[in-house]
Chains A and B, each alone.
Chain A
Amino acid sequence: MDGPATGAPAVNGATLGLPPTQTAASGMPLTHGLAGLLLLADSRLPAGGHAHSGGAEEACRTGAISGPEDLARFLRGRLATAGRVAAALAWSACEAAQAFSRPDKESREPGSPASSGQARVADPETAWRLLDAEADARIASPAQRLAGRTQGRLLIRTARRIWPSTALETLARAVPDGAHHPIALGVAAQAAGCTPDQAAMAAAYTSVTGAATAAVRLLGLDPVTVHRLLAELPYDSVIAEQHDWSALPAHAAPALDLLAEQHLRTEVRLFVS
């Protein structure tokens, strides 16, 4: 450890008004985007997420989740399916929003390194509708599609006020009833200064945290035990670059579809989904 003998002052560069010394190859500070990621992934983000259980409420009601072991399996399955698809959609949406926000048109030409899935489409609104349709095609359950759009609409409303951006405006116009949540998350992430990888991480993480919290509330599970489950999940494994929207992952979870449909038909329910 640096002691007084080395003469190192107990302040960092930021305190002295100096630029951060550690930078990535891009020239950006290594912490770039992290503040936006933390805000977006925080369960306290006021965007309605607290009232969604991702099928966990119905699974608790039917006994499919009754303790930490069941919950661990549920969360792993959710991350590997819905989480993977959400991460891919968020990655794509964030990357497209980045490309649309670049001033030079050349980097948006098809085939250039800076462009990918969206570049074949001329205007942002058409692109958002296309990506939203790709999301629709990957969610079999109407109840899940409805819940995803509701969460997306609420997130767009919230994000537009926190991080005003052209991309969020075009997304709101393109899909007035609410784009699917991962797309809203990806575009909000870009507005918050995040990279596509960070957007995908937020999507993967929030695909399981709502379900975990719901199980804590509904079954009275030890919250520390449940947070350990969350810490042990392989988030990195579901995050990948995406360069062809038609080839985005389409992992399905029929059990989650059935839980979502049954949830809407259950009389006594605390969560929206």
Chain B
Amino acid sequence: MSANHDDHHDAPDGHGRALRLGIGGPVGSGKTALTAALCRSLGPSLRLGVVTNDIYTTEDADFLRRAGVIDPDRIMAVQTGCCPHTAIRDDIAANVDAVETLEERFGPLDLVIVESGGDNLTATFSRGLADRQIFVLDVSGGDKVPRKGGPGVTSADLLVVNKTDLAPMVGADLTVMSRDAAAVRDGKPVLFTSIREDRGAHSVAEWVAGVVDSWRHQHSHSHLS
């Protein structure tokens, strides 16, 4: 091998590494359920790693381990010192460390999912940590949430509205949510799911697979040219 080839150390960010997908959203909206669903759907075809940011226990990591959707060693839990948004936005050092540890141990990987701790509507991922991000809401928070916006709702690459099976019980109007979300998101996609009924969250998994695919094409060969 020549000295100039196959040296990935000077490669720009993104080359030779997995796509990093952030999943954020309020407490209880279904971030961990979505993470498990994506592992279930994408595990057979993609090499995965997962980083969880529990607010205080290793509950989310344990849930994923028990769900048996991914090799437990491929799940790392990061503690966030009472500030889940800090760990994904302002000081991403511990999360980047966890992602890179997974890639060193199990790489090459196709996709590393970083699930944030449950937070508020203003929490978004730093671009230094996540290449793409999904924001998860659920209908039981009320159908006004998309209209209220906030960086998570407006700027995430994909907005997922979960627990649609509960809509009739909580009086949430899905067409209102859909219309409001479209209005504040400037054409970016919105998907409605009920992960309780569709345990693979197939529409979301399809979106993620497409994103991973284009990431691969953008970042796999250019360094050889």
**Chain A residues near B (Cβ < 8 Å):** 44-53, 150, 153-154, 157-158, 214, 217-218, 267-272
Contacts and interface: CB of A to CB of B under 8 A. Distances in A.
Nearest to B87: A51
| Chain B interface, DSSP helix/strand/loop, else mixed | loop
B79 A154 contact: no
A158 B93 contact: yes
A214 B91 CA distance: 16
Interface of B: 55-57, 78-83, 86-87, 90-94, 96-97
Given A50-B86, A51-B87, A269 B79 contact: yes
Contacts of A47: 91, 93
A158 B133 CA distance: 23
A48 B93 contact: yes
Given A154-B93, A269-B57, 19 more contacts: A44-B90, A44-B91, A45-B91, A47-B93, A48-B91, A48-B93, A48-B94, A51-B81, A150-B94, A150-B97, A154-B97, A158-B93, A268-B57, A269-B56, A270-B56, A270-B79, A270-B80, A272-B79, A272-B94
B118 to A, nearest CB: 13
Contact of A50 (B55, B91, B97): B91
A267 B57 contact: yes
B59 to A, nearest CB: 9
Given A154-B97, A157-B97, A271 B79 contact: yes
Contacts of B82: 214, 217-218, 270-271
A60 B57 CA distance: 17
Contact of A46 (B55, B79, B81, B91): B91
12 contacts: A46-B91, A50-B87, A51-B78, A51-B83, A153-B97, A154-B94, A157-B93, A157-B96, A214-B81, A270-B82, A272-B79, A272-B94
B93 to A, nearest CB: 4
A79 to B, nearest CB: 20
Contact of B81 (A53, A154, A267): A53
B97 A48 contact: yes
B93 A268 contact: no
Contacts of A267: 57
A53 B81 CA distance: 8
Contacts of B90: 44, 46
A46 B91 CA distance: 4
A45 B91 CA distance: 7
B56 A50 contact: no
A158 B91 CA distance: 10
Contacts of A154: 93-94, 97
B91 A217 contact: no
Contacts of A53: 81
B93 A270 contact: no
